[in-house]
Each structure stands twice: as structure tokens, then as C-alpha cells.
């Protein structure tokens, strides 16, 4: 496959110029932190300008009044997760939103008192689950069930379903596993959970902005995500959450004044009048300058369409795997090969992964390392092209053939 022909056929190539790319660098870490787009920069500067010109009146004045910004961003994000606009809100972070939703949906009763997760999920999710279990006076050692992986990299949906026993009250799973890039069958898992009268939620950190979702139609009860990976909202950017409309009558486990009904919020009553939709699950004041870049970023996604983004992403990762198998057989591809089981990144395994990542950086490629031996490469549909993929494969070929990684110290940096 010739990268030049593939790039000529790329309908999304026009968006590459939207982003700040370095001429001497190939960025392959958009699944950790997406790059800045010019539109995201402009909407951030616009919000700063509103602060400069309006002061306190920026909450209700300007092109994007801050008081309604979380709701506006939720509406813009809804198509990306397959939710209704009233089911999606941009707020908090993955961890704070997890605490909110677990505290809302986890209602241990009698023998139905355990939470089901998996052993491969990101640690922060497990920390939140254990904390919520302990807050109820229960022991995570007995009340957290983690599905085992047979190969240390992937999960079998049937194993997860088998673990949906009568004592499970709540399930939290990743949509895409952060290490291997495996995409779980959310529709199948949700149907199985509901057949057993179990509530289920997903962490979409490694899928939102990379592939389409149909959370509402699948009946998913809740979901959380960050916006700074594939959605390019900036470091530490505000998160998002989804709650199916059938649960909007629930009282949030954690109350805060931004969960108030808008017209009642400034009554300053000590009894909250909660919003009637997903807005009730907000807690604190929105972080405006963290939200603002997402306004510009989501415009790009609206124009590009998540369907076309997914199509190109699959082509990019397939091309990368094809080249790696041809030129670097020493690297083990440990993500699923099938398109319907793979997220947006390629995961490689090698005992010298940390040093290989250092060699890649020295050669102008920005990868991602995950302890103890995983290299993650994420060619992003909006700003990477097939030539980037070709160049990365050739650089890796040279590094492996000449063992250039041996020049570098073992071990990872503080931030991998």
C-alpha cells in the first residue's frame, strides 16, 4: 500500500491544517492528549476577551454566556455518544463524575451489594469504586468483583457476562481498554446486564471522538469521559457525563448548586430545586477556560462527522499494523486486529518498550509508554496522515534493526 495514494483519497485531509503541528515532529499520542486546533485557541481567547470586556456580565452576555456553557457543550457532544441533548452535560472530570454517578446508582441492598469491574481498567476508576464502597461501610475486598483477563491484555465479553451474578448491583467498564485498545461490545454487555436487573455504565475516555456510540438506543444507564484526548480540549480539560433519560427522576448522590434548576439557582434557598434533566448531576461552577476550547474543537467534529473519522482511523491503524508486521516483527501487536474490536490506537509489546519510546522521541516521534512494556501509537484521523504512519514505521524499523534504544536508560519518566 502506497501512502501517497491513500493520502490522495483522504476526504479529511483538509482538517490537518486546523491544528498546530511541528514540522520536525510526528505526533502519535493523541489518545493521551490531543493537539491544539486553531478553532479551540480562538474560542478560548474569545472567552478571555468576554471576561476582559464584560467582567461579571460574561455569565449572561457575549456569544457564549458562561452560565449556559455546560449545557451548550452537552448538546454539541450528544451526537458523539448517541445520547439525547438532555442526557449529556459537560462538567467535572472523569473521577469527579464517577463519584457522582456511582454515588447515585450504587444502592446496595441485602445480598445485591457488589460492584463489577475488570482488572485491566484505568486505576482511577478502581480508586473511585473502592472509595464509594468504603463510604457505605463495606469492604472493597469482598464487594468489588474484577473480571480476570486470560491474556493480560484483553477481556472476553462472555466472561464479563458470566460474572453478572445475583449479588451484583452495579457494573462499570471501559468502552476501550487503555492499554490494548480493545473495544468492548457495549450493546451486548448492556443487554446482558439489564436481563439480570443490573445497572451498567461505561468510561468512554478512549472511545469518545474516535468512534460512534449509541448509548441511548443501547439503553446504557450512565457514562463518563474526558475531552482532552481525541476531542482536543486541552490538558486537564473539563469532562462529560451521560445519564439515560429514564433515570432523570433520581436524586443525585452528590448535590451542588450548579445542579439547580437555572431559574431557581440564584434564589439562594438552602433547599435545592434540581434541574429536571442531566443538568442535575452537575456539582460546582463550570471551569470556563477549560470548557471554552471545546467549543471550537466540537465545531470541527460537526463538520468532519464521527462516521468519517472512524473510517479513517481504522484505515490508519490497519496501515500501521500492516507496516509493523512487515518491518518490525520484533514488536508484538497486542491489540485486536478486527475493526469492530479495536479502538483508535495500536498497542505494541516489547521488553524494551520504555527505551524504544525514548529512541522514538529522539527521532521526532511522540509515542506513549505504559508500564511495564507497552508502546501505544495513535494516528489521529483529523491531523495525522498516511505519510506520518509510513515515516513512523520506517523510524521504528531503523531503531529496532540498529538497536538504537540501547543508548537510553531503562525505566520511564514520571509522566509516561
Tell whether residue 26 is among the known ligand binding residues.
Answer: no
67 Cβ contact partners less than 8 Å away, ≥ 6 residues apart: 59, 60, 262
CA distance 17 to 37: 9
Q: Any binding-site annotation on 124? A: yes
**Active-site position among 19, 228, 230, 258:** 228
Catalytic residue among 54, 122, 327, 408: 122
Q: For residue 37, how many other CB atoms are within 10 A of its CB?
A: 24
- 95 marked as binding residue: yes
Q: Give the separation between CA 403 and CA 409, rounded to whole angstroms.
A: 13
Helix or strand (DSSP H, E) at 387: helix 386-401
Give the integer Cα–Cα distance in Å for 356 and 216.
42
Q: Is 319 annotated as a binding residue?
A: no
The answer to whether 257 is annotated as binding is yes
Q: Are 210 and 12 in contact (CB under 8 A)?
A: no
Rg value, the chain, Cα: 22
The reply, when asked if residue 118 is annotated as ligand binding, is: no
Let me know if 301 is a catalytic residue. no
Question: Is 125 annotated as a binding-site member?
Answer: yes
Query: Residues for the chain: how many in total?
Result: 416
- Say which of 39, 114, 179, 229 is annotated catalytic: 229
Query: Is residue 293 annotated as involved in ligand binding?
Result: no
Sheet holding 368-370: strands in order across? Answer: 332-333, 346-349, 374-377, 368-370
Known catalytic residue: 376?
A: yes
Strands (E), 215-268: 222-226, 239-243
Residue 358 falls in the annotated catalytic set: no
Q: Is 2 annotated as a binding residue?
A: no
Question: Which of 376, 383, 386, 388 is the catalytic position?
Answer: 376
Active site residues: 122, 203, 228-229, 376
Bind-site residues = 94-95, 122-125, 203, 206, 228, 257, 285
Bind-site residues for pyridoxal 5'-phosphate = 94-95, 122-125, 203, 206, 228, 257, 285
Amino acid at each position: 500500500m502506497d501512502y501517497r495514494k491513500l493520502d490522495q483519497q483522504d476526504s479529511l485531509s483538509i482538517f490537518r491544517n486546523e491544528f498546530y503541528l511541528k514540522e520536525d515532529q510526528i505526533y502519535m499520542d493523541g489518545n493521551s492528549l490531543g493537539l491544539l486546533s486553531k478553532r479551540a485557541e480562538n474560542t478560548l481567547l474569545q472567552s478571555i476577551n468576554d471576561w476582559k470586556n464584560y467582567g461579571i456580565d460574561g455569565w449572561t452576555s457575549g456569544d457564549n454566556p458562561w452560565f449556559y456553557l455546560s449545557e451548550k457543550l452537552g448538546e454539541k457532544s450528544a451526537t458523539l455518544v448517541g445520547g439525547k441533548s438532555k442526557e449529556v452535560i459537560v462538567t467535572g472530570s472523569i473521577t469527579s463524575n464517577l463519584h457522582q454517578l456511582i454515588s447515585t446508582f450504587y444502592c446496595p441492598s441485602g445480598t445485591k451489594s457488589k460492584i463489577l469491574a475488570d482488572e485491566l481498567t484505568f486505576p482511577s476508576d478502581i480508586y473511585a469504586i473502592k472509595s464509594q464502597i468504603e463510604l457505605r461501610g463495606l469492604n472493597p475486598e469482598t464487594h468489588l468483583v474484577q473480571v480476570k483477563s486470560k491474556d493480560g491484555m484483553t477481556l472476553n465479553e462472555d466472561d464479563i457476562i458470566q460474572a453478572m451474578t445475583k449479588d451484583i448491583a452495579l457494573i462499570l467498564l471501559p468502552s476501550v481498554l487503555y492499554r490494548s485498545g480493545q473495544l468492548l461490545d457495549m450493546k451486548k454487555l448492556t443487554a446482558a446486564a439489564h436481563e439480570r436487573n443490573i445497572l451498567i455504565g461505561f468510561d468512554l475516555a478512549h472511545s469518545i471522538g474516535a468512534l460512534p456510540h449509541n448509548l441511548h438506543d443501547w439503553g446504557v444507564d450512565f457514562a463518563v469521559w474526558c475531552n482532552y484526548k481525541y476531542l482536543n480540549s486541552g490538558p486537564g480539560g473539563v469532562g462529560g457525563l451521560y445519564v439515560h433519560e429514564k433515570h432523570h427522576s433520581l436524586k443525585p448522590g452528590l448535590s451542588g448548586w450548579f445542579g439547580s434548576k437555572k431559574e431557581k439557582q440564584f434564589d439562594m434557598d438552602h433547599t435545592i430545586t434540581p434541574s429536571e434533566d442531566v443538568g442535575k448531576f452537575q456539582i460546582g461552577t463550570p471551569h470556563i477556560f477549560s470548557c471554552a476550547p471545546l467549543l471550537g474543537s466540537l465545531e470541527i467534529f460537526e463538520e468532519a462527522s464521527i462516521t468519517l473519522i472512524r473510517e479513517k482511523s481504522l484505515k490508519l491503524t490497519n496501515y500501521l499494523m500492516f507496516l509493523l508486521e512487515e518491518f518490525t516483527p520484533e514488536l508484538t501487536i497486542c491489540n485486536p486486529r478486527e475493526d469492530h474490536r479495536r479502538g483508535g490506537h495500536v498497542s505494541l509489546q516489547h521488553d524494551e518498550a520504555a527505551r524504544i519510546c525514548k529512541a522514538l522521541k529522539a527521532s521526532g516521534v511522540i509515542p506513549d509508554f505504559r508500564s511495564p512494556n507497552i508502546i501505544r501509537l495513535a494516528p489521529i484521523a483529523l491531523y495525522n496522515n498516511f505519510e506520518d504512519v509510513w515515516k513512523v514505521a520506517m523510524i521504528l524499523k531503523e531503531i529496532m534493526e540498529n538497536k538504537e534504544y540501547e543508548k537510553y536508560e531503562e525505566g520511564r519518566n514520571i509522566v509516561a
